[in-house]
Structures are given as C-alpha cells and as structure tokens.
Amino acid sequence: ETLMVVKMIYKGIINTELVAEAIKHKIQAIGLSGIDANLAQVSKRPTKKVINQKTGKTESVDFGYVGDITKINKDILVYLLEKNYVPIIACLGVDGSGQIYNINADSLATAIACQIKASKLIFITDVNGIQKTKDSPQYFHRLTLKQAKEMIIQKKITDGMIPKIENVETAIKNGIESVQIVGALDRESKWSDAFTNQSYGTVIYGGEYE
C-alpha cells in the first residue's frame, strides 16, 4: 500500500508537474522513472542489524520496498541527451522479477551522473548547504571531500546530510569534479547560475579548490 502511494506520487504527480514546468520554460523534457527501459536495475536492500537503544537488544530492520541500485542503463539516457531531450526521472527502480522498489533520489542521481560521465552534480535539498555549526545560519561555500568526512567524524555533519556526503564521495571517486548541495533557489535566480556561481550552497571538491 505504501509503495502504491509512492508510485502514484513520484511518477504520477511530481514527475508530471516537473515535466510540465520544464516545458513552460522551453525545455524539451521527457518524464521517466527508473523502471522505464530498465533504466535503474535494483535489488532489495538487505536487512540490517541494529541495537535497540531502549532495550539494548539487537534487532533486524527490514527496509521493505527500498532498493539499492545494481546497474544503470545509460544507453537510453545517452540517446535522449543526444536528441536534446532532458530526462526527468522519478526515483523508482525494478529488479529482475519485475518487483518495483523506491530508490534514494540522491543515490539515483549519483549513479546516473557517474554513468554519463557528468562533470558536475547538484543535490537540491531543504537546507542551503552544509552549516558551519549545528545552529548557525551560515554555510560553507566550499569544502574538500576530506574536510566533509572529517566533519562527520567530529559530528558536525549529522543525520540526513551523512548519506549525501557518502554519495558525494561516490561521485568524486568516479570522476565527477565537484558536487554542489543547494537549497531552493530564489525565484529571480536562474538554474544555469548554479553551474557557474559558487556562492550557492556548498560545493565539495575531490582535491583542493582554487
């Protein structure tokens, strides 16, 4: 039942509205999900052993219909991009038996960026980047991957930002030059500016930045 809702919202509502918005701005967008053309092949995320903080006992967590990406069919993406179409992809995938799974959106974006050899990857999230301190309104504009990983060890980066940094590491290790973490841009801003303006959010580099 939960998966049914996810399918309806991701592919039926969000994807459709994003495509319509892109078309309004004269972009040749095409709506897909990771299911189409077997774009995102996945396997069920395995159960994980965790310690219950209240009881101290070890328990198994079943992630249900959450999938981990095993392969990206880049051929369909390359074909569409060569024809000047912009794929907008809902984060659903399918396994060999035809079972549909929900995929982490950042992981899907990372896997696709790695496969098509993108030079840059942008994560859009609900915060404006990586905060300098937990309660600070200020954000780092630039960090190296090493600095970001050290901040995880120091518990300066926590919660949902940790898997983002893990995806950043995957991207950089696969040749992507930088990953930018941004919040919603001002209405007056152009999305193209995010590729050139380093003041948006936090840009993370593999090595030292200039």
Measured in whole angstroms, how far is the alpha carbon of residue 40 from the centre of its chain? 13
Q: Could you report the per-residue pLDDT of 64-116, keeping only the tens digit for each?
A: 999 999 999 999 999 999 999 999 999 999 999 999 999 999 999 999 999 99
**pLDDT of amino acid 161:** 92
Mean pLDDT of the 31-37 span: 96
- What CATH code is carried by the domain that includes residue 196? 3.40.1160.10
**pLDDT of amino acid 55:** 86
Q: Is residue 22 domain-shared with residue 91, that is, in the same domain?
A: yes
Mean pLDDT of the 13-35 span: 95
Number of residues assigned to the chain: 210
Domain-terminating residue out of 67, 85, 114: 114
Q: Is residue 6 domain-shared with residue 106, that is, in the same domain?
A: yes
Q: Is residue 4 domain-shared with residue 100, that is, in the same domain?
A: yes
Q: Which positions ≥6 away from 42 have C-beta within 8 Å?
A: 34, 67, 68, 69, 70, 93, 94, 95, 101, 103
CA dist 139 and 153 (Å) reads 18
pLDDT band at 199 (very low <50, low <70, confident <90, very high): low
**pLDDT at residue 186 is higher than 60:** no
- Look over the chain and give the mean of its residue pLDDT values, rounded to a whole number: 89
**pLDDT at residue 185 is higher than 90:** no
Range of the domain at 103: 1-114
Q: Which positions ≥6 away from 123 have C-beta within 8 Å?
A: 106, 109, 164, 167, 179, 180, 181, 182
pTM: 0.87
